[in-house]
Chains A and B, each alone.
Chain A
């Protein structure tokens, strides 16, 4: 029961020398640890009450983590985490279901997000309901909002909420493995015969990438001739080494349309790229019966069960969760730590919540710095808020979402409509802010550059404007962020009292109003007040600085 000890270890060991590993590492304080756990799991800063509770009793931290794991924001994180693995959230016109029929009035962003989020919503549903994580490849249902339901002809209640729903064509129970969106994202060219899809499954769910090795091509093999290729992948040793396992895996996916899908030209709904009658077409092409790394597994549901039973599946999940939550490249994660996490994961019946819990309460997660110059090069002591986290953080602190609206149409078809500027690539700033577009930019950037700095600064300014206007116009009880003093008051006592609370809310620092740690923020306020002579403007400038500060964008 190693996991049961973790909270105690974490609570007692914070700021203490580590029992093992580097002797020069310094760990986060309990409140700093809380901030990192809250941001990593939710993209939201902890509340003042939570900070005070942990400052008073570090043993409260694991209990707060449990509440974070049950929050809707953790569901957002689960989808974001799996999108970084599966690379589903693409915004490309040719991969966007057309605006025919029931989608006639829907925007580009709405359609792309709903269509490609369907498998991510299924994963979120499994995780948030604390069911075995293996169900992501064995579930007999998926999730649909009104757009997804319209595309596939699924029943859906009033409104646009995501609901559990069965595939109307009775396709096998295999979770995301049977998702149209997955197979639309990983299209298979005519003579590829689903090998790309098979490798996407192996890479993302088993951490087994067939493409990791060099491919030395025999130039006498005409790769454009399917008959020659079919022979080479069996007879040619340099080809057969991979293809003897890759091709049988690919044979599971013949039910999904190959080649150009022309989603943007769909004439009407319901529409699917799945056709059960083509399931056995491997017989007409590669002549490789479906098989899972040499095991007999029948059908896509059999494939899902085989993956779920494969120890590589839980190990791979541990790698993905650990990498996302620590911002450490998978190749640099400690194999021993991953093995520990995998054990915790399996002991808890593949509970992804318990896996995430074990990660954020572990020593590797709470590294602050390393005083050894060599070890310091690889000690990740600052994590950077991804654009989605920045969006949630600003919303939680200020009530502001950085939205944009346009009546323009994408390639003359779908209206751009209203978009979250931190969660959109076509018109927004997700990639410029350091995020991914899941197609051309597939890895987030964990440091600041010129464009991410501008994105952060403009978003912070907009949020600051919004919250100052709001808080200056409502009674104290209704204010969002400026809750310690009257925003119009400019005396040092009032301003420093407000700054002390802002340092707690935004930076996670519990400091007294007279603490020198506030001096820089107070100087900023004073300077801004002197520049404009306007107290509200001074708060806008001060909050812009704080919301885009090092201690806000890093955690």
Chain B
């Protein structure tokens, strides 16, 4: 048994006996759900919830043009100026759940991003993509593929990898191709006519690394932190070797990966068994302290991309025979912040500040589609809810970022008690 597996078991045991801060025993942790793959679409910068997921009346907020339309059980603001929103819900409301009123209890981007992604305030904790990837897909070459800009890997750094601002990873996957082809820097000085390592040489280097690791295990690297660093060293070599066999799935070198390019790569990485979880970012400048009207176009692009993503999941074969990827994959769409109810500043550049109550959209396998969970009041404040049902309850609990992240872990088939002990699990949106 590996060290971190042992620690997880110990953590699980501790979680099983967890007592709430007020002395009340926590609810029984739910039975693990079937494992699912995960795509995280992180809307970094702060979306304005009134543009789609949490419509408000104009008497309580500055709202854009549009009408509230019911899609199955979801009330969404739509408008011809942002057709992507309506198109998505027309097609996929039945497999989508909206979670409203998630409190991040902070108003700055970095802090809120960490909280909504990791369920904690700690910088050393992994986000739920890293956790799901590590716990459920650690045998894959790159369990957690970070295509977007913001992610926390914590102790699972060895299971995670970025592709780079201009998809530089392709140069590493195929070093022999370096040499100044269009869009990539050539290495200086150029190779001296000696080719990249042969398979035989690579095997020799693997043996050399193994011998070095064996010696370290017998000495300084026998236990604890050191042992983990030594194990990571060899594990990283093996993961890199696996990745090199999957070069074709990583596309071409070029400018920063656009949102739609990330979606295409995410689908390939999941389908080809490269990764178990993928972090995607829209790459749009959502932080509209000025020109809040830009949110309209951003929402249109966001949801058009989601349609492409879910279309792709539905069109590709799933893990089980006769299924599609949509049967075993969850898509989580979330932002660290929403925007203040009212505009500030002068037209046409009026903007909105940060608002610490934000919705999320959960799509795909195991999701109670067509339903809304959590709630906000007319002033965009979070309403207390019954965590078991997700419905408003004056005597209930304020929905926190930690509750939501625990629920996402539960939905994906990970025991949240191992990673977020003592945190109530809000998974009402999961079947």
Contacts and interface: CB of A to CB of B under 8 A. Distances in A.
Given A524-B208, A544-B197, A222 B340 contact: yes
Contacts of B235: 448
Contact of A215 (B219, B222, B356): B356
B351 A190 contact: yes
Contacts of B200: 527, 531
Interface stretch (B16-24, B226-234, B312-320, B325-333): B226-234
B406 interface: no
B172 A554 contact: no
Contacts of B236: 448-450, 452-453
A502 to B, nearest CB: 13
A462 interface: yes
Interface string A421-433: 1000111110110
Residue among B232, B233, B352 having the largest count of chain A Cβ atoms under 10 Å: B233
B202 to A, nearest CB: 9
B168 A405 contact: no
Contacts of B191: 462, 465
A26 B111 CA distance: 38
Given A382-B229, A426-B165, A375 B353 contact: no
Residue among A214, A222, A225, A523 having the largest count of chain B Cβ atoms under 10 Å: A222
A438 B336 CA distance: 19
A217 B185 contact: no
Given A190-B290, A379-B225, A451-B161, A445 B153 contact: yes
B243 interface: yes
A426 B171 CA distance: 13
A549 B221 CA distance: 14
Interface stretch (A49-57, A283-291, A366-374): A366-374
Contacts of B201: 528, 531-532, 541
A402 interface: yes
Contacts of A528: 201, 204
Interface in A424-474: 425-429, 431-432, 437, 440-443, 445-455, 457-458, 461-462, 465-466, 469
Nearest to B340: A224
A112 interface: no
Contacts of B354: 223
Interface in B370-390: 377, 379-381
Contacts of A416: 185
Contact of A427 (B108, B168, B198): B168
B225 A380 contact: yes
A160 to B, nearest CB: 19
Nearest to A91: B165
A376 interface: yes
B417 interface: no
A408 interface: yes
Contact of A378 (B213, B225, B243): B225
B146 to A, nearest CB: 9
Contacts of A373: 223-224
B344 A224 contact: yes
B109 to A, nearest CB: 10
Nearest to A259: B290
B211 A520 contact: yes
A531 B161 CA distance: 32
A196 B229 CA distance: 36
Contacts of B340: 222-224
B187 A404 contact: yes
A250 to B, nearest CB: 14
A190 B345 contact: yes
A50 B310 CA distance: 61
* Size bracket of the A interface: 35 or more
Nearest to A457: B240
Interface string B138-167: 000110000001100100011111111110
Contact of A379 (B224, B345, B381): B224
B188 interface: yes
B188 A404 contact: yes
A26 B220 CA distance: 9
Interface in A398-428: 402-406, 408, 416, 418-419, 421, 425-428
A60 B169 CA distance: 44
Contacts of B240: 450-451, 453-454, 457
A226 B106 CA distance: 19
Contact of B237 (A259, A406, A453): A453
Residue among B106, B157, B159, B225 having the largest count of chain A Cβ atoms under 10 Å: B225
B108 A550 contact: no
A455 B339 CA distance: 40
B205 interface: yes
A537 interface: yes
A378 B105 contact: no
A189 B105 contact: no
A527 to B, nearest CB: 4
A220 interface: yes
A236 B377 CA distance: 21
B205 A260 contact: no
Contacts of B33: none
A259 B344 CA distance: 14
Given A405-B188, A432-B164, A440-B149, A369 B226 contact: yes
B67 interface: no
Contact of B205 (A368, A425, A440, A544): A544
A425 B351 CA distance: 31
A103 B412 CA distance: 52
A216 B356 CA distance: 8
B186 interface: yes
A215 B108 CA distance: 10
Given A541-B201, A550-B233, A376 B223 contact: yes
B157 A447 contact: yes
A449 B159 contact: yes
Contact of A537 (B166, B194, B219, B233): B194
A329 interface: yes
Contacts of B172: 429, 432, 451, 454-455, 458
Contact of A406 (B184, B220, B351, B355): B184
A368 B230 CA distance: 13
B183 interface: yes
A223 B223 contact: no
B212 A550 contact: yes
A438 B71 CA distance: 42
Contacts of B12: none
A521 B215 CA distance: 13
Residue among A215, A229, A384, A553 having the largest count of chain B Cβ atoms under 10 Å: A215
A62 B219 CA distance: 26
B261 interface: no
CB-CB nearest 10 A-B residue pairs: A376-B224, A404-B185, A219-B381, A224-B344, A224-B340, A453-B236, A376-B223, A450-B239, A454-B172, A448-B236
Given A189-B287, A443-B123, A550-B212, 7 more contacts: A214-B106, A216-B105, A425-B165, A431-B164, A448-B229, A450-B161, A450-B243
Interface of A: 26, 91, 189-192, 196, 211, 214-217, 219-220, 222-226, 229, 259-260, 329, 368-371, 373, 375-382, 384, 402-406, 408, 416, 418-419, 421, 425-429, 431-432, 437, 440-443, 445-455, 457-458, 461-462, 465-466, 469, 520-521, 523-524, 527-528, 531-532, 537, 540-541, 544-545, 548-551, 553-554
28 contacts: A211-B108, A217-B107, A217-B357, A219-B379, A222-B342, A224-B343, A224-B344, A373-B223, A376-B223, A377-B224, A381-B221, A382-B230, A425-B164, A427-B185, A440-B149, A447-B158, A447-B229, A447-B233, A458-B175, A462-B191, A466-B189, A523-B208, A524-B204, A531-B201, A531-B204, A541-B204, A544-B197, A550-B216
Interface of B: 62, 105-108, 110-111, 123-124, 141-142, 149-150, 153, 157-166, 168-169, 171-173, 175, 180, 182-189, 191-192, 194, 196-198, 200-201, 204-205, 207-209, 211-213, 215-216, 219-230, 232-233, 235-237, 239-240, 243-244, 287, 289-290, 339-345, 351-357, 377, 379-381
